[in-house]
Structure formats: structure tokens, C-alpha cells
Structure 1
Amino acid sequence: MRDTDELRELRDFDTGAPPLDDATRQRARARLFAVMTAPDGSAPALRNRRPVLRIAVTGAVAAAVAAGVLVAVQEEGGGKGTTAAPPGTSSPAMRNVSVRTVLNGAAAYERKHERTVSPRDDQFIYTKEIIKETEARTGATKSYVDENWRSVDDSQRSWVMEIGHGWWSPPVGKNESMWPPQDWSRLKKLPTDPEKLILSLLHKTGPNDRNDSLHDISDQEWSEIHFSLTGLLKLVPVMPQGLRPAAYEALGMVPGVKVVPDQKDAKGRTGVAVTYDDPTLPKGVTSFGGYFIFDPETYRFLGFRDKRTSGDGAKMKTYTQLSYLDSWAVVDKVKQQP
């Protein structure tokens, strides 16, 4: 029934609406293929599994994520699909641009401007992040400066901060593996080809695995791939050369990723945002990831927009967080200023 409803929406979509973007077309094709090829005519069963995110060096991620809990929240300002500008709108932030255009543009900008770095294992990566947080009910706004020192090879304890609160993070234990990786050696092993990066996130490398191309990936697997890519992009602010551009391009290949125009960043600049319509979740809710905000002309990354909640019941408060990476450097000691 769900697929029938989506086909009806697809049929009616061209009445006064802009053409479908690549992500929407890919998602529709994937759903049609799943229904046609299922033995009993129904869509295949979906696995209920999520990768685990490790809190690293960003204050934009809610404390709930640090506890391993992801809370679905109502999405603001957007409906389903790419939001189009009215005819004749000339503002770059309001143009009907595809998600592939934005993310491929972001990848091209990053390749042109990224700084090459090769830190030693015994060093630390310092990051300074600015977070602007607004409480939804009162409109009260507070700003934070989070400074972090992450051990390059994760063999030493690191200092991390979340919205003004800092603590010592111990190294990963023996035979432990967390996502996203923080140690430079593991990050360097991730593919810098976007399609290979996507396939590597499935953790399927045997000769009998069916996921040897993007056409074989299910909706649930795409949801998990998006979760992993978003975690990589949000929680690892400094990466080996070529990895961040590849992650941007890979994100643009995920069905359900969409553009939301006219979004403000932490500095008040108007940009174009990228977020995710997760087909495995009910309509109107969004999973981990929030909004990636880009300059509408150069596609330079401007910052994140996220939500977090605190308290329970009637005392629960909801906050909108706008954040950006102010600076970073490689240093020799934890808490050493660059």
C-alpha cells in the first residue's frame, strides 16, 4: 500500500511542479524494482539495524547521541522532495537546484581548497567549534566555544567538549572498533572514490555478497549508509586528502537526500541546505543528520543545523543548534594552543 501511495504521488508530481531530481528518480526506481522482484509481489523484509556513532569533536550533536539514543523530531520548513523556488526567483539560495549539484559542487570546492596534512601518530588534532543554540519556547540564545584535542592514533586520551562541557575521552580498547573512526590510519584506508566508499560502508566484501553495485542496495541499507556518511562528515572535522569530497559525492547518491533552500547558518548567512528524507521512517520525521548548509553560489560548506532536547515530559526543552568549525591545527600535546 505504501508503494502504491508513492506511485500516486509520483504520477501527480508533474502538475505545476519542477522535474524530479536524480535522488527522487533513483528512489522511485529502487522501490519499483524491489516490488517487482520480490517472490510474493511484496517488498523484501528490512533489517532493523543501525551502526553505532562515536561522539568525537562536535558540539552540534545532541547529548542524546552521546548516550546512544537518536530521537526523531518533526522537520521544520520543508516537506517532502526538493523545495523549488517560485518562477522568476533570482536569489541563489532560492533556485531550484538538485542535491547532486550542491554536493558535487561542495566536493569540487573542497578538492580545490582542502589543506593536506600528515600528522604523526603521537600528535593531536585541535579543533575549535562555535555553537549557537536557541531554545524553541523562549527564544533565548546562548553561544558556546568548544575546543577539542583528539589523539591522532587514538592511543592517548583526548579532550572533547559538547556545548561547553568537556571531559577526558579514553582511547579505544583492544579489539574495539567504533564509527566513525578517529585514528588517522583507519581514515586513510577509507576509499576516496564515492561509489567504493558507499560499498565499503556495507561491510560486505565476500565473493557471494549481493551488494556489488549501488543498484543492489535496499532502502534500509541506504538509511544505514546515510547514517554512516553523516557521522563521518559531522564528527570528523579533519580528514585525509580526498576523503571529505568523496563523502560529499557519496551523500549525493543516497536516495532521499534533498535540498532545502533559504536556510540561515550560525553567522546569519543565507545558504542552501541538504537533509535526508528517510524512507524507513514515518513521514514528517527525520533521523540523525540535521542540515548541512552550503553557500548557494560557491557551495562552500558553512555549517550545521541540528536539534537537541533536554529534560522530560512538561519540562522538556527543544533547542535549535547552529554550528561551524572555526579553526583547526595539528599540535604536539593535549590542550596545547596552536
Structure 2
Amino acid sequence: MDELGSLREWRAEVPEPGAEWVGPERRRLLARMREGRRAPVRRLLVIGALGAAAAVAVPAFWPQSLTREPAASPAVVRLDSGVVLARAAEVANGRKSPTVPLPTQWHYTKTLDKQPISDTIKTREQWNRYDGMQAAFFDENGELRVSPEENPLDANDDDLSPMRYDAKLRELPTNPEKLLAKITGDRHWIRGAHEEGVPRTVEPDDDRAYRVIMLYLSRYGSMPPRLEAAMFRALALIPGVRIEQGLTDAAGRSGLGVWRDRPGGTAPYRQYEILDPATYRFLGRRTVWLKDEWHPDLREPVVRKGAVWATALLASTIVDRPGQRG
């Protein structure tokens, strides 16, 4: 294998989406970063936070990133994505079928977040009741806070309760081609959440299919094995999917970095979805800036080349009550 050639190719600039896509994606990422700075109360499943963030949120970086030194880029080797995804499908197909949770059970998650402007790694624990009626978290004083009974999430919003999410997931076919058609034609994913004052846009089918499949794979706890295998096979059918070895998440775990080379101009960053190299379970995300990112109102880069934003999913399980960790 020509590893130097692979590294040179990896470092080449990748296409950037047009202006009609960059603006909304920047706003989505800004919302995600702001969420990381406050305790979660109402949001049970934020699509932008789990699978749609693809661009940098400029205002969140301004005060600190001007003097931030770039982080070192990991040494990576590109792999044959078709071979890797075929193997991932085999492994997934051999898993045991999970039990469908009861409406009154809770989905517990523990995540790490290391943003590019800070050396601090933030830990977040959250409990979402399976029927979407309550959420729980630890406040700044270490006390468990449980939200009161609420109405279910708005059916027209971009959020889904765990129960509604799983019901939608289980409607998907296990044939890879039919699965892609179902996802790309699903009005929920086409419509998504709408931000007031932002023109409504519809992303290309391949972009939406990749985004939604990676979202599903990041919430693997209740997915039937045959469907998970179909997800990997469908991913292999999407143009531009690349896989590299040697990417680390916020917990320092090394895995397989999945990303998509999209047609269009040049993007300043690359976002990886990191999978465990043995189990192919989702580990976290890693966004690497491939060049300095500028803002017209500033004389220094907002984010410097080599900066890294990493997350890690440490736990994702069903428990009987808030505060329980499985």
C-alpha cells in the first residue's frame, strides 16, 4: 500500500457545499455547542447534536480561538470502505436482538466533549424516559434533576422521543437499496426542524441518507441486528464514503473514521464518525480543521488549521429509573 500517497490524498482539500448549505449548518453547529454549556432539560434527541453538525459556529469561537494553538493531526491510513463496511455488516448481523424497552424505562447516555478552544473535557450524563415524557440530569451542584411530566414532543419538530425514534427505525426495510429509498423519501428527515428567518432548504438525497444512517448507527441500543447490517451495506452504496484507520475520540480510543467526500468547493474541516475497529459500534466524533477558518470581521483566524473537536459516547443503555447507570 502506498501509505504516503494515501496521506497526501487525505490532506488534499475536500469539496465544500454551496453557500445555501453552509449558513444553516453553521447555525446548527452553534446551537450544539451552546447546548454543551448548559444542562439539558427539554431536548431529548437533537438531530443536529447527534448527526447533522458539519460546519463551524463562528461566534462561539471568537474570544478564545484567536490564540489557540492547533492540535496535532492523527496519523491515519485510508482503508477500502467496501471491504470494511461488508465486514461491519457481518459482525452486526451476528449480534443478539435487543429487548424493546418499556415506555416507563429510561435511556441513559454518558458522553465526553472536548471543544477546539479548550483543553477541558466535559462529561455529560443524561436520562430520557422512553416515552419522551421526562428527562433527567445532574445539575452544577451534583444533584439529580428530573423534569416534571410534560406533553410528548411536537410531531412537527426535528426531535423524536426514544420510543418514537425506535418505532420509525423498526419500519425500515433490511434490503439496502430499499432502505436508502425509504430514508431519502421520509418527510420527517426532509422537513426537519425549521429555524425562524432561515430559508427552508432540502439537502441532496445522498447527503440526507448519509446523515440519517450515521445518526441511526450512533443510537444502536435497540436496533435489530439484520437492520444494523443493512445500514452498513446501504452506507457502502452512498457515493464518496471514505474510511480511515487511526482516528481517536475524546476518550482517546482509536477507531475507524468514517467521512463523506462531497462534491462542491473546498471545506475547512472534515468530520469523522468513529467506529470501534472490532465491534463496529459508534465511539464518537472527531472534526479536524484542514485549513484556517476566517471571518471577515477579524484579523486572525477564528479556528486554526489542525484544531480538533472530539466527542465520545461512553455509555448508552436502558435502565429502570433516572440516576441509574446500568
Q: Determine if the TM-score, normalized by the shorter chain, exceeds 0.5.
A: yes
Gaps of 5+ in 1: 1-13, 19-46, 56-60, 79-84, 86-92, 206-218
Distance in 2 (CA, whole Å) between partners of 1:258 and 1:162 is 39
Amino acid paired to 1:142: I
1:231 lines up with 2:210 in the alignment: no
Distance in 2 (CA, whole Å) between partners of 1:306 and 1:17 is 23
Q: How far apart are residue 204 of structure 1 and its match?
A: 6.9
Alignment match of 1:148 (pick from 127, 130, 133)? 127
Alignment match of 2:280 (pick from 284, 290, 300)? 300
Tell me what 2:311 maps to. Answer: 322
Tell me what 2:197 maps to. Answer: none
Tell me what 1:158 maps to. Answer: 135
The answer to whether the 8 Å contact 2:256/2:276 transfers is yes
Map 1:183-332 to 2 at 5 A: 183=163, 184-203=166-185, 220-234=204-218, 236-242=219-225, 243-280=227-264, 282-285=265-268, 290-296=271-277, 298=278, 300-301=280-281, 303-307=283-287, 320-331=309-320
The answer to whether the 8 Å contact 2:107/2:127 transfers is yes
Tell me what 1:215 maps to. Answer: none
Q: How far apart are residue 262 of structure 1 and its match?
A: 1.9
1:108 lines up with 2:85 in the alignment: no
Tell me what 2:107 maps to. Answer: 126
Q: How far apart are residue 270 of structure 1 and its match?
A: 3.0
The answer to whether the 8 Å contact 1:125/1:150 transfers is yes
Amino acid paired to 1:196: K
Tell me what 1:90 maps to. Answer: none
| Percent pairwise identity | 20
Deviations 1:222-247 (A, max 9, x none): 1122222223333x342331333322
Amino acid paired to 1:72: A
Gaps of 5+ in 2: 7-19, 37-45, 58-70, 188-202, 289-296
The answer to whether the 8 Å contact 1:64/1:70 transfers is no
* DSSP 3-state at the match of 1:113: coil
* DSSP 3-state at the match of 2:310: strand
Pick the structure with greater CA Rg: 1
Amino acid paired to 2:254: T
Say how many residue pairs are matched: 251
Distance in 2 (CA, whole Å) between partners of 1:136 and 1:174 is 33
* DSSP 3-state at the match of 2:162: coil
Distance in 1 (CA, whole Å) between partners of 2:322 and 2:134 is 9
Q: TM-score, normalised by structure 1?
A: 0.56
Change (3 A) 1:99 1:167: farther
Q: TM-score, normalised by structure 2?
A: 0.58
Tell me what 1:182 maps to. Answer: 162
CA RMSD, aligned part only? 4.9
Distance in 2 (CA, whole Å) between partners of 1:71 and 1:319 is 13
Distance in 2 (CA, whole Å) between partners of 1:316 and 1:107 is 40
